[in-house]
Amino acid sequence: MHLVNPITCEQIALPSVITIEQVKPIFDEHGAVHKYEYSCHTGTDAGPYSPSIFAIDKLRHKLHYKAFVFPDTSTGSYIVVLIHNPKRQLSFARVGDDNWTWLPPHERYSDCNYKDGLLYEVTTTGELHAFDFSGPVITTEMIVRMDSIYGFGYTYVVQASSGDLLLIWRNIDQYNFDPHPGSSVFWIYMALDI
């Protein structure tokens, strides 16, 4: 795994995929990785299935959901956050780390933003969590839980030009909220005073 600048083609190596909690390497007779074992366990669930085996070029289709790169002003470097399966969990790495750091026990994340040493993550169930990276131990706090009788199509946490964080949910073509067939309705749930 690498960060790649598409303009300069500069690459920065990230930790190997085999350092993600749910991935284990399978070696061939020459000692080279030729397949991956992928486990479905989460921080709260051992998973109902036996681990799956994936070819090297196929794992990414099952594992990766979203990746984010944020400047880390405290170190002058970058932090990479990966939302990955099973169940859209979190792992992160700072440039130069040897391993991905898993952030259990929560799951079903859909979006994130990083501000002032805090990683804000929103789930598809309407919870906003803040992971504090500033101390020797990473701590987690639930900031808010959005309750909706309609459920959430997609959830986002974005930074406005004012610096405020906005919690947004988008309902897609469900429950006849859309003004036109195939369009989406965006609701700004709240501006977070953070």
> Tens of pLDDT along 132-186?
988 889 999 998 887 764 555 678 888 888 888 888 877 655 555 545 555 555 5
Q: Which amino acid is at 186?
A: F
Q: Residue 111: which domain range?
A: 2-17+64-192
CA pseudo-torsion sign 63, 69, 73, 75: positive
Q: Would you say residue 120 lies in a domain?
A: yes
Angle value at C-alpha 154, between 152 and 158, nearest 5 degrees: 120
Q: Would you say residue 49 lies in a domain?
A: no
Distance CA 49, CA 94 (A): 32
Q: Would you say residue 39 lies in a domain?
A: no
Q: Would you say residue 180 lies in a domain?
A: yes
Paired tokens of 16: 């190997």
Q: Would you say residue 168 lies in a domain?
A: yes
For position 81, what pLDDT does the model report?
A: 95
Paired tokens of 106: 């929560």
Q: Which amino acid is at 43?
A: G
Q: Would you say residue 137 lies in a domain?
A: yes
Q: How many distinct structural domains can be found in the chain? A: 1
The residues that bridge with 172 in the sheet, in sequence order, are 184
For position 58, what pLDDT does the model report?
A: 93
pLDDT in tens, 12-47: 889 999 999 999 999 999 999 999 999 988 877 776
Q: Cis peptide before 105, with omega less than 30 degrees from 0? A: yes
Distance CA 190, CA 194 (A): 12
